[in-house]
Chains A and B, each alone.
Chain A
Amino acid sequence: MVFLSFSVYDFIGRFHPVLVHLPVGILLLAALFIALSTSEKFQSLKSAISISLLFGMLSAIASCISGFLLSKTDSYDESLLFKHQWFAIALAITSVIVYVLHLTNKPTKLIAVLMVVLITITGHLGGSITHGSDFLTKAFSSGTNPSGDGSGKTIVNVQEALAFTTVIKPILDSKCIACHGPTKQKGKLRLDEPSFIKQGGEGGMITLTAKGSESELLKRILLPKENKDHMPPQEKPQLSKEDVALLQWWIENGSGFDQKVKDIEQNEKIKTVLKGLESAKPKDEPLLSDIPDQIVSMGDEKAMKMLRERGVAVSAVAQKSNYLTANFVAVESFSGKDLQLLEPLKKQLIWLKLGNMPLTDEDLKTVGKLASLVKLNLQKTKITDQGISQLKNLSELQYLNLAGTSVTTKGLEALSGLKKLHKLFLFQTSITEADISGLKNIFSNATIDIGGYKVPMLQSDTVILKAPVIK
């Protein structure tokens, strides 16, 4: 065999992924025939057993040989490979035994069961080598992103962060370590820990050096995608332009493992890329602070139906939330009774718009019981200082709109306990600029808007330009 060059072994080895499926299929079929032929009905299958065992056996042996050759061409997880190899050899031998037993008309059933068990184990081990040992179980670990590209993580201040840990490692983790990590070490290279990275890969390949241009890693990621040495391999997820720029920047500047980002020289281009890491990636379903964190039970269907019949727009604040928003804008002939319909929903109702309704101080008693309210709009209602104190227990209130009401500073003092209030609208009330500082003392966390904004006339507003007339 000396005359065969290494690449021929390699070539034969590469048929392994194709060949392995033959013994799995044919031997399972043979076992099935053996089992079935015990029944009177399937006697005809008996004649097919020997031929299927023969082909199964031959393909098992061929798979063993090709698999052995393949194992020499690349580095795989050694313990998995060891098990796969010996289970496969055991399977091949078992298949020979079954065949011989069958030819000599000896009972084959028990050993055929063993053969099926061996096929299952060998197949699983083989699959674990190529797809990773957690391939099967991944289906159950929902929610986690298997490639772990670190999206969603936001870096607060990139310049103060450690360059390797926060910037470089996430890239390696998402795009490299599947083949160069704890489970597989293609080219004997591991990129999951600094010590392995420094060690480099097969044949003394230089992963990183002080002078980046000699770095094999950098060279390979910069090769055109079509080149066979390009990394990651063409069929695998590629590095983004930013990833490449960051790796190049880090390697060319000495690839230190303990440096902070700010200690490494940066040009304008890399600065923007680094800055880009800071901005929050779009979250799938952002939750805002004006929605309470606690889970709440579903609101009373009957109450919601009655409100809708009165023209109140009631709906959930989001599809998966039980919190409610209600808007009375389309209600005709409003009465205090309509408000009482809200009471059964007081746990769920967080946003309420009652603007322009003939709402009186008396009605505020009901509003004051809606303890979950976060936003409340009472603009242009008939409420006064008398009634406003009814709202003093709405401790969750963040937004309160009292524009166009006769509420005064005095009335608002009753609400001083509303610590979460951060927006208070008082446009078209008797409250003036002079009252604001006093109100600021009461509502220290709130922005107070008394409106009355103007768009003053400018001299240019009335000038209409015309083209000069040349006579």
Chain B
Amino acid sequence: MSDKQNQRLVKEAQDAVLQQYTRRHFLKDGAMGFGALALGSLMGSCIGNTAATSLFDPANPLAPRAPQFPGKAKSVIYIHMAGAPSQLELFSYKPELAKLDGLDCPQSLLEGKKFAFIRGVPKMLGPQAVFRQRGESGLWLSDNLPHLATVIDDIAMLNAVTTDQFNHAPAQLLMQTGSARMGRPSIGAWVTYGMGSENKNLPGFVVLTSGGNNPDAGKSVWGSGFLPSVYQGVQCRSEGDPVLFLKDPSGMDRDLRRASIDAINKVNQEQYAEYQDPEILSRISQYEMAYKMQISVPDVMNINDEPAYIHEMYGTQPGKTSFANNVLLARKLVEKGVRFVQLFDWGWDTHGDSEGNAVDIGLVNKCKKVDRPITALLKDLKQRGLLDETLVIWGQEFGRTPMQENREGKKMPFKGRDHHSAAFNMWMAGGGIKGGTSYGETDEIGYNIVSGKTEAYDIQATILNQLGFNHEKLTYQSQGRNFRLTDLSGKVITEILA
């Protein structure tokens, strides 16, 4: 075939293609296209109006950021007593309940109620502790916490906390993440997302556990949910290596580790250039953080160098896992600029099924392990000028019943109480909280709330408020809508603010 023919064939083919696209096709497609464009911009404006700007800076996710308004508190130490101690033996003075000790629980209290273990008609159980009014404020406190009594005037007691969950895991999740189901970020994750951290060499959110077990809800209670994973809590151990796998493996020196991290980061950078996934940048900064933590963490997590009077004060024994050690570490971490320290102490589930779980035996012994360190913490923060800017919280997932537990309808070997979601106590101190106050009331036997109802959301809203955030405005967009810690509820408990 000649060149000419060739050219003609090519032209013919081009014409044939062009003919497929008639003017009508063009207009029809064009109209659709314009429609789509218009819709896109319309929808875009809808979304654009509601989307809050994310605070997440992938290149430097933990850089310190200004809160919405100047907050009183700079850091938080949240002590969660996993298992839920009995408020009736610690904070809630109910003399009327003593008179009912051993009597059948009235039907009116049982109708329509669900309990984790109580079946049939249980007996009422009077308070198994002596209560006294303490401090200038005259707040009631049981003799199980004699040391805490000396700092009662720094504490704001919440008498009417309530939840709708009566099993440990969902109740812990509700308290820590604002939802009884998994998948939401924890308070500490929200706080570090909002404020970053002041020490670039340490994680912004550290978790320490004691009592022999992790909380029932597992690591979700310090998870980052849909927030970038850099904001999840970093669990440190108070015995052995504080963070596992932080040491250089034998035969690998620090320079080699540096070189390998550099190489990995370079690969990650290339990945990021291609996919633009912010999680890759988080990963890079986490490698950097891990490298820095090799030096900084062993240093801050080492309590051996603390003076003897501090060990005496807190009741700490270096080298062991104990609640006291964790409390001392919490103070050290806060001093080093860590934003949120979460302590979980396991073993408060006093059902009365064993000696250790009896409200008059195990609970008393357990109290001895926490009373001294917590008191020492408040005093130590105070003398270091840190109490005003550190919010300390005693939390638990729910309370315990004024009735004695009768698992499977039988008498228990020891005195114990079942899970109680309707009314329990928590307290806050420092960080702009008005000491020596109390908020909320329960009825004569501590069964139901009378006034000052306080939900998990209200506590979360208050924590954020003290740090300088309006809980309704600290949001993150996920799955097409803005989420916040308190979801649709929450009000700041202004009654306990200084």
Q: Once bound together, how far apart are the Cα atoms of A315 and B70, in whole Å?
A: 11
**Is A272 an interface residue when CB atoms closer than 8 A count as contact?**
yes
**Contacts A379-B384, A403-B384, A454-B313: A315 and B336 contacting too (C-beta < 8 A)?**
no
Q: Once bound together, how far apart are the Cα atoms of A454 and B365, in whole Å?
A: 22
**Contacts A282-B491, A330-B198, A449-B383: A317 and B70 contacting too (C-beta < 8 A)?**
yes
Q: Which of B64, B69, B355 is within 8 Å of A315, CB to CB?
A: B64
Q: Using Cβ atoms and an 8 Å threshold, which residues of chain B touch A460?
A: 143, 146, 368
Q: Which of A282, A287, A464 is within 8 Å of B494, CB to CB?
A: A282
**Is B477 an interface residue when CB atoms closer than 8 A count as contact?**
no
Contact A377 B385 (CB under 8 A): yes
Q: Once bound together, how far apart are the Cα atoms of A290 and B313, in whole Å?
A: 32
**Is A288 an interface residue when CB atoms closer than 8 A count as contact?**
yes
Contact A327 B355 (CB under 8 A): no
Q: Which of B196, B198, B494 is within 8 Å of A281, CB to CB?
A: B494
**Is A134 an interface residue when CB atoms closer than 8 A count as contact?**
no
Q: Using Cβ atoms and an 8 Å threshold, which residues of chain B touch A453?
A: 313, 379-380, 382-383
Contact B70 A287 (CB under 8 A): yes
Q: Once bound together, how far apart are the Cα atoms of A291 and B202, in whole Å?
A: 28
**Is A399 an interface residue when CB atoms closer than 8 A count as contact?**
yes
Contact A458 B66 (CB under 8 A): no
**Is B214 an interface residue when CB atoms closer than 8 A count as contact?**
no
Q: Which of A377, A455, A458 is within 8 Å of B313, CB to CB?
A: A455
Q: Once bound together, how far apart are the Cα atoms of A454 and B151, in whole Å?
A: 11
Contact B72 A288 (CB under 8 A): yes
Contact A327 B198 (CB under 8 A): yes
Q: Using Cβ atoms and an 8 Å threshold, which residues of chain B touch A458?
A: 146-147
Q: Using Cβ atoms and an 8 Å threshold, which residues of chain A touch B72?
A: 288
Contact A455 B198 (CB under 8 A): no
Q: Using Cβ atoms and an 8 Å threshold, which residues of chain A touch B150?
A: 455
CB distance from B132 to the nearest CB of A (A): 14
| A window 53-72: CB within 8 A of B | none
CB distance from B209 to the nearest CB of A (A): 23
CB distance from B116 to the nearest CB of A (A): 24
Q: Which of A291, A329, A454 is within 8 Å of B336, CB to CB?
A: A329
Q: Using Cβ atoms and an 8 Å threshold, which residues of chain A touch B384?
A: 379, 401, 403, 425, 427, 451
Q: Once bound together, how far apart are the Cα atoms of A439 and B198, in whole Å?
A: 33
Q: Contact flags (1/0) for A82-97 with B, using CB distance below 8 Å?
A: 0000000000000000
Residue of chain B at shortest CB distance from A272: B451
CB distance from A144 to the nearest CB of B (A): 20
| A window 163-204: CB within 8 A of B | none
Q: Which of B68, B314, B376 is within 8 Å of A285, CB to CB?
A: B68
Contact A464 B365 (CB under 8 A): yes
Q: Contact flags (1/0) for B54-72 with A, using CB distance below 8 Å?
A: 0000000001111111101
Residue of chain A at shortest CB distance from B198: A313
Q: Which of A314, A317, A427 is within 8 Å of B383, CB to CB?
A: A427
**Is B492 an interface residue when CB atoms closer than 8 A count as contact?**
yes
Contact B70 A288 (CB under 8 A): yes
Q: Using Cβ atoms and an 8 Å threshold, which residues of chain B touch A315?
A: 63-66, 196
**Is A319 an interface residue when CB atoms closer than 8 A count as contact?**
yes
Contact B199 A330 (CB under 8 A): yes
Q: Using Cβ atoms and an 8 Å threshold, which residues of chain A touch B67?
A: 318-319
Q: Once bound together, how far apart are the Cα atoms of A321 and B66, in whole Å?
A: 9
Contact B337 A330 (CB under 8 A): yes
| A window 428-455: CB within 8 A of B | 449-455
Q: Using Cβ atoms and an 8 Å threshold, which residues of chain A touch B433?
A: none
Q: Using Cβ atoms and an 8 Å threshold, which residues of chain A touch B197?
A: 313
Q: Using Cβ atoms and an 8 Å threshold, which residues of chain A touch B123?
A: none
CB distance from A451 to the nearest CB of B (A): 3
Contact B361 A466 (CB under 8 A): yes
Q: Using Cβ atoms and an 8 Å threshold, which residues of chain A touch B64?
A: 313-315, 327
Q: Using Cβ atoms and an 8 Å threshold, which residues of chain A touch B451?
A: 272
**Is A44 an interface residue when CB atoms closer than 8 A count as contact?**
no
Q: Once bound together, how far apart are the Cα atoms of A465 and B358, in whole Å?
A: 11
**Is B162 an interface residue when CB atoms closer than 8 A count as contact?**
no
Q: Using Cβ atoms and an 8 Å threshold, which residues of chain B touch A143?
A: none
**Is B407 an interface residue when CB atoms closer than 8 A count as contact?**
no
Q: Once bound together, how far apart are the Cα atoms of A443 and B289, in whole Å?
A: 44
CB distance from A443 to the nearest CB of B (A): 15
**Contacts A317-B66, A319-B67, A458-B147: A467 and B383 contacting too (C-beta < 8 A)?**
no
Q: Once bound together, how far apart are the Cα atoms of A308 and B382, in whole Å?
A: 29
**Highest count of chain A CB atoms <10 Å: which of B68, B380, B385:** B385
| B window 354-400: CB within 8 A of A | 355, 358, 360-361, 364-365, 368, 372, 375-376, 379-380, 382-385, 388
**Contacts A285-B470, A330-B199, A452-B383: A466 and B70 contacting too (C-beta < 8 A)?**
no
Contact A449 B372 (CB under 8 A): no
Q: Using Cβ atoms and an 8 Å threshold, which residues of chain A touch B379?
A: 453-455
**Is A280 an interface residue when CB atoms closer than 8 A count as contact?**
yes
Q: Once bound together, how far apart are the Cα atoms of A87 and B107, in whole Å?
A: 71
| A window 301-335: CB within 8 A of B | 308, 311, 313-319, 321, 327, 329-330
Q: Once bound together, how far apart are the Cα atoms of A1 and B439, in whole Å?
A: 67
A-B contact pairs, 13 of them (CB 8 A): A313-B200, A318-B66, A318-B67, A329-B199, A329-B337, A330-B199, A377-B385, A425-B384, A453-B382, A460-B143, A460-B146, A464-B365, A467-B358
Contact A461 B372 (CB under 8 A): yes
Chain B interface residue count, CB cutoff 8 Å, equals 52
**Is B447 an interface residue when CB atoms closer than 8 A count as contact?**
no
**Is B179 an interface residue when CB atoms closer than 8 A count as contact?**
no
**Is A423 an interface residue when CB atoms closer than 8 A count as contact?**
yes
Q: Once bound together, how far apart are the Cα atoms of A147 and B478, in whole Å?
A: 34
**Contacts A315-B66, A317-B66, A318-B66: A330 and B383 contacting too (C-beta < 8 A)?**
no
Q: Once bound together, how far apart are the Cα atoms of A290 and B383, in whole Å?
A: 20
Q: Once bound together, how far apart are the Cα atoms of A310 and B274, in whole Å?
A: 31
Q: Using Cβ atoms and an 8 Å threshold, which residues of chain B touch A330?
A: 198-202, 337
Q: Once bound together, how far apart are the Cα atoms of A422 and B118, in whole Å?
A: 54
**Is A386 an interface residue when CB atoms closer than 8 A count as contact?**
no
Q: Once bound together, how far apart are the Cα atoms of A308 and B62, in whole Å?
A: 13
Contact A423 B385 (CB under 8 A): yes
Q: Once bound together, how far apart are the Cα atoms of A158 and B434, in whole Å?
A: 22
**Is A279 an interface residue when CB atoms closer than 8 A count as contact?**
yes
Q: Using Cβ atoms and an 8 Å threshold, which residues of chain A touch B164?
A: none
What would 12 more interface pairs be, CB under 8 Å, given A453-B382, A467-B361? A279-B495, A282-B494, A329-B198, A330-B198, A330-B337, A401-B385, A403-B384, A423-B385, A423-B388, A455-B372, A466-B355, A467-B355
Q: Once bound together, how far apart are the Cα atoms of A318 and B385, in whole Å?
A: 22
Q: Once bound together, how far apart are the Cα atoms of A466 and B361, in whole Å?
A: 6
Q: Once bound together, how far apart are the Cα atoms of A423 and B385, in whole Å?
A: 9
**Is A152 an interface residue when CB atoms closer than 8 A count as contact?**
no
**Highest count of chain A CB atoms <10 Å: which of B197, B375, B383, B468:** B383
Contact B494 A280 (CB under 8 A): yes
**Is A284 an interface residue when CB atoms closer than 8 A count as contact?**
yes
**Is A286 an interface residue when CB atoms closer than 8 A count as contact?**
yes
CB distance from B369 to the nearest CB of A (A): 10
Q: Contact flags (1/0) for A261-285 with B, using CB distance below 8 Å?
A: 0000000000010000001111011
Residue of chain B at shortest CB distance from A404: B384
Q: Which of B360, B382, B414, B494 is within 8 Å of A451, CB to CB?
A: B382
Q: Using Cβ atoms and an 8 Å threshold, which residues of chain B touch A281?
A: 494
**Contacts A455-B372, A455-B376, A461-B372: A399 and B66 contacting too (C-beta < 8 A)?**
no
Q: Using Cβ atoms and an 8 Å threshold, which residues of chain A touch B315?
A: 455
Residue of chain A at shortest CB distance from B372: A455
| A window 221-265: CB within 8 A of B | none
Q: Which of A321, A464, A465 is within 8 Å of B70, CB to CB?
A: A321
Q: Using Cβ atoms and an 8 Å threshold, which residues of chain B touch A450?
A: 383
Q: Using Cβ atoms and an 8 Å threshold, which residues of chain B touch A403?
A: 383-385
CB distance from B52 to the nearest CB of A (A): 12
Task: In the A-B complex, list the 3 residue pairs whose CB atoms are closest, starting with the nearest.
Answer: A451-B383, A316-B66, A453-B379
**Contacts A425-B383, A451-B382: A327 and B69 contacting too (C-beta < 8 A)?**
no
Q: Using Cβ atoms and an 8 Å threshold, which residues of chain B touch A377?
A: 385
Q: Using Cβ atoms and an 8 Å threshold, which residues of chain A touch B361?
A: 465-467
Contact B68 A313 (CB under 8 A): no
